[in-house]
Amino acid sequence: GAVVSQHPSWVICKSGTSVKIECRSLDFQATTMFWYRQFPKQSLMLMATSNEGSKATYEQGVEKDKFLINHASLTLSTLTVTSAHPEDSSFYICSARDAADGGEQYFGPGTRLTVT
Amino acid sequence: SQQGEEDPQALSIQEGENATMNCSYKTSINNLQWYRQNSGRGLVHLILIRSNEREKHSGRLRVTLDTSKKSSSLLITASRAADTASYFCATDGTSYDKVIFGPGTSLSVIP
């Protein structure tokens, strides 16, 4: 099946710094990628939808200037958490849609961000 | 929002018993998926059921979909301790634009 990878799998950063998370579709082209955030004991909340070559669409309540998304190629999307604060500590999960596979969505393993 | 809702929020059963989780959603969908997530880990895809399907099986898993009631159920038969996890339903809208997750059911299977 299709594989989506994320890097890093976990990261610790200091408050005020920025951190970039990569999401890659390894064996298919993903015209659309999605970024989710999950706090402990909660469900996944969609943050934004990223289409290759265009600006991301953010869900209500998600600050686009804080969570910068770039989808420069059909296999890579990045999420940059700028000026991170402890409340940004969370599990970030990306997914990629394989347009050639009936639109099925494949999820990455997630990145755990801890802001100290 | 087409976000699904699930019940129960938490379920505790004895090993060997069956576990049933329900999911409801608000708008028309293309498909509905069930995922499992162990604590602190990523998602494991269990089953995808399309809007024109009513029931699907995979091993000990049985999923039903009732589009008239906008609801789905996941049945795990002969549960095992290893089934202890959180289970989420996720719906994909008719425009294939995004997948929205329900709040999840936390299942504990007691050996």
* Chain A interface includes B61 (CB < 8 A): no
Comparison of pLDDT for B40 and A48, the residue scoring more: A48
Which residues, other chains included, contact B80 with Cβ-Cβ below 8 Å and sequence gap of 6+?
B15, B109
Distance, CA of A103 to CA of A35 (rounded, Å): 16
Rounded to a whole number of angstroms, the distance from the CA of B111 to the nearest CA of chain A is 23
pLDDT at B2: 45
Residues B51-96: tens digit of each pLDDT: 999 999 999 999 999 999 999 999 999 999 999 999 999 998 766 6
* Chain B interface includes A48 (CB < 8 A): no
pLDDT at B99: 87
Residues A14-73: tens digit of each pLDDT: 999 999 999 999 988 888 899 999 999 899 999 999 888 888 999 999 999 999 999 888
Rounded to a whole number of angstroms, the distance from the CA of A109 to the nearest CA of chain B is 5
Q: Report CB contact under 8 Å: B104, A43.
A: yes
Q: How many CA atoms lie within 13 A of B27 on its CB side?
A: 12
* Torsion (CA) A79, A81, A86, A92 in degrees, nearest 10: 0
pLDDT of residue A101 exceeding 70, the answer is no
* Chain A interface includes B102 (CB < 8 A): yes
Q: What is the pLDDT averaged over residues B12-22?
A: 97
- Give strand pairing partners of A1: none
Identify residue B51 by its one-letter amino acid code. Answer: S
pLDDT of residue B107 exceeding 90, the answer is yes
Identify residue B7 by its one-letter amino acid code. Answer: D
- Give strand pairing partners of A36: A46, A93
Distance, CA of A1 to CA of A101 (rounded, Å): 10
- The number of helix segments (H) and strand segments (E) in chain B equals 0, 11
pLDDT at A10: 97
Residues B1-15: tens digit of each pLDDT: 446 677 889 999 999
Rounded to a whole number of angstroms, the distance from the CA of B35 to the nearest CA of chain A is 10
pLDDT at B109: 98
* Chain A interface includes B52 (CB < 8 A): no
